[in-house]
Structure 1
Amino acid sequence: MLDNIRSKLPLGDSSSGNDADKQIDSNEVETPQNNNVRGATPGPIRWYPSFGYSEDTDTYFRTYVVSSWPSNASEHMFWDLLTDTSLQYDMSIHFDRHDPLSAVSDLNELSDRLEDKAEGALSHFTLNPESVKRTSQVVTHMKESIEQSGENLFSVTAHVTLYADSKDELRKHHNELEDKLQLSAGVHLDTTTYEQDIGLRGSGPLGYNEYYERHGDDVSQLMTGSVASAMFPYVSDTVFEEGGVDVGINLASNTPTIIDPYNRATGYHMLRLGRTGSGKTFGASQFLLRLAQSIPNINMTIIDPMGDFVGVNHALAGDRILIDGNENINPLEIKPTPKHVLERAEGKMSPFNMKLRDVEWFFSRFFSMNDDPLDAQHRAVLSMAVKEAYADAGITHDVETHSRDSPTVTDVRQILAEMNQNPAEYADPQTDDMVNKIRDASGDLTLELQPFKEGNRLDNLAKPTSIDFGNNPVTYIDMTAVSARSGTLGLMMQLLFSLVYQEAQQVEGPYMMAIDEAHKVLRNTDSVEFLEEVFRHGRHFDLGIQLISQTFEEFFVNESAKTIARQCSMVQLHQMERIDKDIAQSAMGLNPKQIEYIQDLQPGDGDKNYSDALLQISDKGTIPLRVTATQDEIAVIDYDPADSWRNMTEPRSQTIKQALDRRNEYDSPIVNPSKNELSDAVMNEVVEKQRRIQGILQAKGIDAVDFLTIPERAELGLPVNGQITRMSDSDVDADSSNESDPTPSEDEIESAPSIAELESMATPTNARDGFAEPTTDDGVGTDDANLSKQAEVSDDDQTDSAEQAQESDD
């Protein structure tokens, strides 16, 4: 019946109805699409103002247009209608794409009109100016999505044609249809009165959107591509990208979801949110393990303030850099940007300008951390001093100059002192007012930067950077020693983020940086333009960043966080009980049903062997996800050195636990020079020796299981390999003076040590934080012997320590 009516859609020959006759002119709209539709078999249809009647099939019908859309287009929004078997209907949704070159200007024009209605000359005639303001905010978010993520802009029009066997049935189904769409989808329908023929053509499978051509914006809704795609989860539920990472099971289609994070057109970054115990950290760890398997040549750095990624690092044989907050890090350090990065950026990236914004971000964080944010005047004077410091060092926009020694905060302080003494030399124009402003601001800044003075609390941040990432493709930055320190964790995380960013540029090939507790990088600052640029330019050197945080409220602490989230092509949301719906909608574009879904997700705690999540992929849509893991992965991810392998039931898990324990026992954190230089010198000697042992083992091809002793291997039922050639302690030290090349020689590899000798050489005698505490001749630890040398503490140090104890945690 419906097919017969559809075939008569274009009607060239119509008979009149008794109420308000309406003839169709077959030449009314001359377009290829319409001519194609009108080419179908004609037949008699009687038209009335609000319905039509097909004489051939004895069928009544009424056509509608969606006149009002909800503020957030929800996923599966038409599900109730699509699964209803009692109604007979046709539905067609038209997407008219705006020219990408004019999309932003179109929104700007709309924004100007809305502003005029809300606050301009037309505001007196506007019934609900607050509603207009909210609409204007939505338009602003749409512009940001288009500018930052390259999304398309569409004008969306929807038509529905309802069929019935009688007028009474049509009237009954009319009410059911309106109620169903209003309640389940939040849309409002209008009957296409006196334009039933146009509505019928619009709802057909080849329908030309003539109704939109006639009525324009009055019957359409502006949507970005990601919002529009949420209405069509039934188009493609399977994501299977060759060489990608298995991130879980798609609950909608019960198929694996395989994603290549470096196959995204808008960037390679990922945001992962969820409460403690939701499976967020587990999922992040699993993603990193599987990513390393999928892309063997990937470089990876994990910034971990909580100590949750120890097992992952051991499994990937990564270097561990131990951070305690006293490391020398120069916030002004700039490194040459490689040629391949600049070529891929195609002139859209200015390394020097980015570094200036990085430095501004650092100082903004420092002053905000002390509850003394910079005003415009002090910010401008500080910026002048920073640029002057770079100029004095001979560093300019020319990348060739970036290999020169970078200035430090000490240089900036000296320039500020000079500005305070001779402000006229820096004033432009040289008016009394300008001179006085520079003198006052530079004097204030010189005093406020006292913590960076030699001997004070932050003097380690006024020295050349001492952290060396080495050549290991996997680096684990262990910040657990600084986590309990008030006030400094976020600042140190920010500085390490900038260091890793510069390091990632030096490496060709994919690079993944994972940051746990990522919200701490964003807090206490109002200047994160540098961070936004990092996310925007990361794809020029294959940098992907995985941000891991807890709740919407914690992560979205400022507008920049929203901008950064929009640049994440993948967002995985785990269970969260309490959600700020306003933030979830404005920052992430989530609709009420999605928010409710996240709140009801199954977390990963308890006895369940899975966790659920909602995964958003910028070019694929939204996927309900179930995350499961193998027993091997669980043994690695849940690794805790304090647990006993005997508590594990699976033999393979026991083997992995034993292997990880050995890795942990011989793990030699890279300890960077700090304020205690005498202790550092001895520690580095120990670290260098242990590094050479690890190099010998890796070159010999010894894997994690080979760290087990022969009795332990026998106990676990593992095959016992042949004896390893013995090697003396002196052989390990023979080439220890060659600090520039820790790679073992062929002779060293051939004479690898036995397991017992490794234990005697590498096991800490007075284990503390993973390295051996050196002792003096009388058996007293070096640190203890040095206590008398450190007994005298300056007033500044005492004051700083007191201040540090009072600062609130980031």
Structure 2
Amino acid sequence: MRSLTALVGDAASILPLASTVKASRRDTLGLGPSSLTVGSKTLAIGESTHAASFAVADYPAEVGNGWLEPLLSYPARIDVAIHVEPVPATVAADRLRKQRARLESGRRLSAERGRLDDPLTESTAADARELAYRLACGEGRLFTVGIYLTVFADGDEALAETVSAVKSMADGMLLRLVPATYRTVQGWTTTLPLGLDGLRIRRTFDTDALAACFPFTSDQLAQVADSTTPVLLGVNGTGAGLVCFDRWALDNYNSVVLARSGAGKSYLTKLDILRSLYSGVQVMVVDPEQEYVRLAEAVGGTIIELGVPGTRINPFDLPSEPSGDAVRRRALFGHTVVSVLLGSELTASERAVLDTAILAAYAQAGITDDVRTHSRAAPTLIDVANALAADGGPEAKSLAGRLAPHTTGSFAGLFNGPTSTAAEGHLVVYALKHLPEELKAIGTLLVLDAIWRQVTSPQRQRRLVVVDEAWLLMKEPAGARFLFRMGKAARKYWAALAVITQDAADLLGSELGQAVVANAAIQILLRQAPQAVESIDAAFGLSAGERAYLLAADRGCGLITIGASRAAFSAVASADEHVLATTDPAELARMDAAKNPRNPSPEDGDF
């Protein structure tokens, strides 16, 4: 740093030699420009880049969250640096005491001389008094903050035009910019990611004012004061900030993602899952298309693939938490299971014999209303069918015969034994792709029941239930009722329902679907098809610009709505996250080829 500063003294005689030295070092190390031409207010970096540095000297009296966004998103190359240094508590208290003493003495002197109260002095004194009490209670701290920026352009004329425009924008923000006159090198290095403040033009901020300077926020989204677990959604579509949201700090935790096929809805959801897992959220996914299996394998999650031989879910399993009415509740659910299996509603007499058979199966397994017996192995559908056959009545035999395909016939694989895989872990994926169409309805019902039992368990934990391709579930009455019930009651159990669908018409075209959307505090719209944009427009009240944006949005780009706030965003992912989240068939084929090469090249020596 001292060698660069020395160039300011005699630039004409030293710069040619310095340029040669810098060029050789750059060729060796790959660091630094080829030359520096130092002026009083500008700096020429290399052969064509010109720069001018400024410090913010005056600030507005009050600012809001993301107030630096106009400066950060200005359509030119501007490097902005914020230097923050905490003030020790004892020093801060002493400074505030002296400041309050000066203000109070000024007020008393004005009163003795009969002058009118100065509104500015009164406001400053009130602010200082409030800040002093907050510091004394440990609710805030003081910091010295310096905000600097360096404007770049190709050529002196272009730099002058850009600087003029930036100053005009700063004046509109009530900021006064002072140039780094005769300290252009220090100003430039101050805005480099070196952590060095060579200008030291600073102001004192409290904690709230400093938080408002945080550059990675969206000024278009409502910020929740008690947010502690925000999730990064992406970069702001109209600025340079980041778009984050914290579902657990909102009135309810539900979300809805609507997009056409290929718009990136599953990609975005996987990023949400990964980033939610970081904060200790348990995630359960209903996966109709086998899209979340790779993600679960990578993070050590539990995968339950219904339809695969040996994978079973016993509908008569009792909850892990003991309850005196658990047996009767499971018996009632058994009525629903049998009704879905048979594809018709049961008559009153059929319900009577079925209820008797279910209770008899529990009794034969040694399970009664006594909670001490609930740890024993639960009966299965075969045990219920055997109890029906042993009843001897015509209706019982009829039911047992109609259940035969699911107990001993072609569809018995899902029911002919106890539950094979416990639905435990930080991530549980229920993959339904391998289920035959004839078992889709009952498989979905069993999965939703297992999820609901975990959500309503006495163990309090943040849980995120992801239902992908929700339009498939909306076609089934049991699935539609589940979404409706979750949307209404999930918050009571510290759970969130995330509904993702590509068929907005099916979701918005039913009363249950509209209730799910209405009970979602977070609504995300990605690229829409022209055929569906009318219903989306009617449901969400889009402006003409927002409607056009959704029709032309790139993959992963869209709108997020939280309450009355709405912002455009573009999803971003790290390289590792992208590998786990992508569903592009071409990328997946390349990944598979890289793992299992089948066509070695001639360089491999196999030809």
Say if 2:444 is the partner of 1:458: no
**Corresponding residue of 2:182:** none
Closer/same/farther in 2, CA of residues 591 and 281 from structure 1, 3 Å limit: closer
Contact 1:301 1:500 in 2 (8 A): yes
1:36-61 deviation per Cα after TM superposition (whole angstroms, max 9, x unaligned): xxxxxxxxxxxxxxxxxxxxxxxxxx
**Corresponding residue of 1:612:** 558
Say if 2:580 is the partner of 1:636: yes
- Distance of 1:382 and 1:578 partners within structure 2: 50
1:714-764 deviation per Cα after TM superposition (whole angstroms, max 9, x unaligned): xxxxxxxxxxxxxxxxxxxxxxxxxxxxxxxxxxxxxxxxxxxxxxxxxxx
Which of residues 326, 331, 337 is equivalent to 1:362? 337
Say if 2:461 is the partner of 1:509: yes
1:485-540 deviation per Cα after TM superposition (whole angstroms, max 9, x unaligned): 33223432332333344456486532333232233334333686566555555445
Say if 2:282 is the partner of 1:309: no
Which of residues 622, 626, 629 is equivalent to 2:569? 626
| Map 1:696-711 → 2, pairs under 5 A | none
**Corresponding residue of 1:448:** 402
Which of residues 254, 258, 266 is equivalent to 2:244? 258
Q: CA deviation at 1:248?
A: 4.0
**Corresponding residue of 1:701:** none
- Distance of 1:569 and 1:356 partners within structure 2: 35
- Distance of 1:307 and 1:598 partners within structure 2: 32
**Corresponding residue of 1:590:** 539
Say if 2:307 is the partner of 1:324: yes
Closer/same/farther in 2, CA of residues 281 and 557 from structure 1, 3 Å limit: same
Instruction: Please state whether the residue corresponding to 2:499 is helix, strand or coil.
Output: strand
**Corresponding residue of 1:245:** 231
Say if 2:242 is the partner of 1:299: no
- Distance of 1:405 and 1:448 partners within structure 2: 25
- Distance of 1:314 and 1:661 partners within structure 2: 18
Aligned-residue sequence identity (percent) comes to 20
| Map 1:207-606 → 2, pairs under 5 A | 237-238=222-223, 241-248=227-234, 256-266=242-252, 268-293=253-278, 295=279, 297-326=280-309, 327-337=311-321, 355-356=330-331, 358-368=333-343, 372-374=344-346, 378=350, 382-383=354-355, 385-386=357-358, 389-390=361-362, 393=365, 401-418=373-390, 421-422=392-393, 440=395, 442-469=396-423, 472-480=425-433, 482=434, 485-503=436-454, 505=457, 509-525=461-477, 532-533=484-485, 536-539=488-491, 541-555=493-507, 559-577=511-529, 590=539, 593=542, 597=546, 601-602=550-551
Amino acid at match of 2:444: M
- Distance of 1:235 and 1:448 partners within structure 2: 59
Instruction: Please state whether the residue corresponding to 2:290 is helix, strand or coil.
Output: coil
Amino acid at match of 2:233: V
Q: CA deviation at 1:612?
A: 0.7
Q: CA deviation at 1:330?
A: 1.0
Contact 1:264 1:569 in 2 (8 A): yes
Instruction: Please state whether the residue corresponding to 2:266 is helix, strand or coil.
Output: helix
Aligned residue pairs, count? 377
1:671-717 deviation per Cα after TM superposition (whole angstroms, max 9, x unaligned): xxxxxxxxxxxxxxxxxxxxxxxxxxxxxxxxxxxxxxxxxxxxxxx
Instruction: Please state whether the residue corresponding to 1:544 is helix, strand or coil.
Output: strand
Contact 2:271 2:573 in 1 (8 A): no
Q: CA deviation at 1:629?
A: 0.6
- Distance of 1:557 and 1:458 partners within structure 2: 36
Contact 2:463 2:495 in 1 (8 A): yes
Contact 2:325 2:369 in 1 (8 A): yes
Q: CA deviation at 1:541?
A: 4.8
Closer/same/farther in 2, CA of residues 315 and 574 from structure 1, 3 Å limit: same
For the aligned residue pairs, the C-alpha RMSD in angstroms reads 4.6
Instruction: Please state whether the residue corresponding to 1:590 is helix, strand or coil.
Output: helix
Amino acid at match of 2:526: H
Contact 1:603 1:612 in 2 (8 A): no
**Corresponding residue of 2:101:** none
| Map 1:80-91 → 2, pairs under 5 A | none
Amino acid at match of 1:575: R
Closer/same/farther in 2, CA of residues 563 and 333 from structure 1, 3 Å limit: farther
- Distance of 1:523 and 1:320 partners within structure 2: 25
Closer/same/farther in 2, CA of residues 509 and 562 from structure 1, 3 Å limit: same
Amino acid at match of 1:406: A
- Distance of 1:359 and 1:280 partners within structure 2: 35
Contact 2:314 2:380 in 1 (8 A): yes
Instruction: Please state whether the residue corresponding to 2:438 is helix, strand or coil.
Output: coil
Closer/same/farther in 2, CA of residues 448 and 247 from structure 1, 3 Å limit: same
**Corresponding residue of 1:216:** none
- Distance of 2:416 and 2:267 partners within structure 1: 37
1:251-272 deviation per Cα after TM superposition (whole angstroms, max 9, x unaligned): 6898644322223444x33332
Closer/same/farther in 2, CA of residues 308 and 459 from structure 1, 3 Å limit: closer
1:404-424 deviation per Cα after TM superposition (whole angstroms, max 9, x unaligned): 3322222332343455x35xx
Closer/same/farther in 2, CA of residues 460 and 591 from structure 1, 3 Å limit: closer
- Distance of 1:335 and 1:452 partners within structure 2: 23
Amino acid at match of 2:307: D
Contact 1:365 1:525 in 2 (8 A): no
Contact 2:444 2:479 in 1 (8 A): no
1:626-681 deviation per Cα after TM superposition (whole angstroms, max 9, x unaligned): 23213523343226797489x7xxxxxxxxx79x977x99xxxxxxxxxxxxxxxx
Q: CA deviation at 1:284?
A: 0.7
1:375-431 deviation per Cα after TM superposition (whole angstroms, max 9, x unaligned): 666556545644554466565666555433322222332343455x35xxxxxxxxx
Gaps of 5+ in 1: 1-233, 343-348, 423-438, 648-656, 666-810
**Corresponding residue of 2:155:** none
Contact 2:263 2:556 in 1 (8 A): no
Amino acid at match of 1:492: G
Contact 1:574 1:603 in 2 (8 A): no
Q: CA deviation at 1:286?
A: 1.5
Contact 2:527 2:552 in 1 (8 A): yes
- Distance of 2:508 and 2:321 partners within structure 1: 31
1:193-229 deviation per Cα after TM superposition (whole angstroms, max 9, x unaligned): xxxxxxxxxxxxxxxxxxxxxxxxxxxxxxxxxxxxx
- Distance of 2:356 and 2:480 partners within structure 1: 19
Q: CA deviation at 1:287?
A: 1.0
- Distance of 2:466 and 2:258 partners within structure 1: 13
Q: CA deviation at 1:307?
A: 3.1
Closer/same/farther in 2, CA of residues 277 and 531 from structure 1, 3 Å limit: closer
- Distance of 1:455 and 1:640 partners within structure 2: 39
- Distance of 2:418 and 2:588 partners within structure 1: 43
